[in-house]
Structure 1
Amino acid sequence: MYLSPPPDSPDADRMYADDRAEMGFVMTGSQLWAHRPELHDGLFALLGAASTAAGLTARERGILVTACASTLGDSYCSMAWGSKLAALADPELSGEVLRGLDDRLTDRERALAGWARRLARDANGTTAEDVDGLRNAGYDDGQILAITTYVALRIAFSTVNDGLGVQPEPELAAGAPESVRSAVTYGRPPAV
């Protein structure tokens, strides 16, 4: 990452402890955001609120993030969320979503993946027909707003991480299934 190590603080310690409990190591992204933990916490509170308002399952969040991150070329979130989706679904499905292959997704999941990719690729290019695809998959307008907010916030998070040089950690890459590692051929390579 391009920033210097953050100062010690109770909030930074909390973020690092959360990483160790979930991942087994401190993520570089957490070290970046430890410069301003309140921004991280606020962003993730809003992400949680959007996810809840949309009624998203963990698997659906995994599909949204992997589809969005891979379209953006964000290796960090692709590797992290590709691994999460592999655990929630299966490794091959996760690799497929990272590659833009949605054949094994449900109709609702395909609508989510397609919407995330459209937003990441060109939010100004979306159409009413694109939104109708979400409606036809069973999402109401309030959920569509919440889903769109969720994806937009993930794009913001990726932009901050990518812009400030965050790379996948060696531990993250080593722990990812082969289907995820082989799909993530873009963005910053894992740190050594």
Structure 2
Amino acid sequence: MAFVDPPPHGPDAQRLYDDDVATVGYVMNASRLWAHQPASSDALFALMEQAAAPLALDRRRRGILVAACASTMGDSYCSLAWGGRLAAASDTDTAVSVLLGGDQGLTTAERAMAGWARAVARDPNATVRADVQVLRDAGFSDGDVFAITLFVALRIAYSTVNDALGARPDAALRDAAPAPLRDAVDYGRPVG
């Protein structure tokens, strides 16, 4: 389900696959890709956790950041995965709104986060001081702004590898997503 074949079977790759089966019930297409460098996958996800730690992001806010970032990039895989998680943590209408850039159902702080995630994903060189001020006005410290930015940038790195190498969203992600969410994700790679 990607442009490169899965690597030869080994214990590190098997650990990724076993983790998937334990958490989602199947081996994800992205894991088959990242099995080429399981240690890099582990390090990237550990760094994402470290970046997000100062924010104490719950599933809803993490979903807002990832869904806003992924949809801006046109990443169907993470949009379906995290749109679904956001729908479960809030509701379908909120998740669809975030994917479409409307941000209905979000608090002021959550709207600021989503807007910043989109700005970073769209064109980080186009951000200006006033964009950061929106986050400050929503109650985020400069350290929080750095943490949000680092988390989003690491998610961009993850999505970029998946998208560039043709990882297609898992059919199980599509099947588990509410119909309005599936309809909203009309971009990126087709389901594999």
State the TM-score, normalizing by the size of structure 1. Answer: 0.97
Q: Does 1:110 align with 2:111?
A: yes
Aligned to 2:101: 100
Match of 1:60 in 2: 61
Please tell me whether the aligned partners of residues 67 and 113 of structure 1 are also in contact (alpha carbons under 8 angstroms): yes
Q: Give the equivalent residue in structure 2 for 1:189.
A: 190
Distance 2:73 2:138 in 1: 24
Moved more, 9-18 or 69-78: 9-18
Instruction: List structure 1 segments (4+ residues) > 3 angstroms apart after TM superposition.
Output: none
CA distance in 2 between partners of 1:179 and 1:95 (Å): 7
- 2:145 is matched with 144
| Displacement of 1:54 | 2.5
Task: Say if 2:160 is the partner of 1:159.
Answer: yes
Counterpart secondary structure, 2:61: helix
Structure 2 stretches of 5 or more lacking a match?
A: none
- 1:92 deviates by 1.6
C-alpha separation between the residues in 2 aligned to 1:81 and 1:111? Answer: 18
Mapped to 2, the partners of 1:61 and 1:50 lie a distance apart of 12
* SS state at 1:113 partner: helix
For residues 36-91 of structure 1, give each alpha carbon's deviation from its aligned partner in whole angstroms, at most 9, with x where no partner exists. 00110010000000110233222111000000000000000001111111111111
Residue identity matched to 2:81: A
Q: Contact between 2:94 and 2:104, CA under 8 Å: does it hold in 1?
A: no
Which amino acid is 1:21 matched to?
A: A
SS at match of 1:30: helix
**Structure 1: gaps spanning 5 or more residues:** none
In 1: Cα distance, 2:37 partner to 2:13 partner: 9
Question: Could you tell me the percent identity over the aligned residues?
Answer: 55
Looking at structure 1, the residues matched to 181 and 3 of structure 2 have their Cα atoms a distance apart, in angstroms, of 26
**1:155-187, Cα deviation, whole Å (9 max, x unpaired):** 111100000000111111111111210110000
Structure 1 residue 148, shift from structure 2 partner: 0.2
Are positions 1:18 and 2:19 aligned together?
yes
Which residue number in structure 2 is paired with residue 131 of structure 1?
132
SS of residue matched to 1:35: coil
Q: Which moves more between the two structures, 171-180 or 117-126?
A: 171-180
The alignment status of 1:74 with 2:85, answered yes or no, reads: no
- CA root-mean-square deviation: 0.9
Structure 2 SS opposite 1:43: helix
Q: Distance in 2 between matches of 1:188 and 1:19?
A: 21
Verify the 8 A CA contact 2:98 2:104 in the aligned structure 1.
Answer: no
Alignment check: 8 A CA contact 1:91 1:179 kept: yes
What is the number of residues matched between the two proteins?
191
Tell me by how many angstroms 1:15 deviates.
1.1
Q: CA deviation at 1:10?
A: 1.8
Return the TM-score normalized by structure 2: 0.97
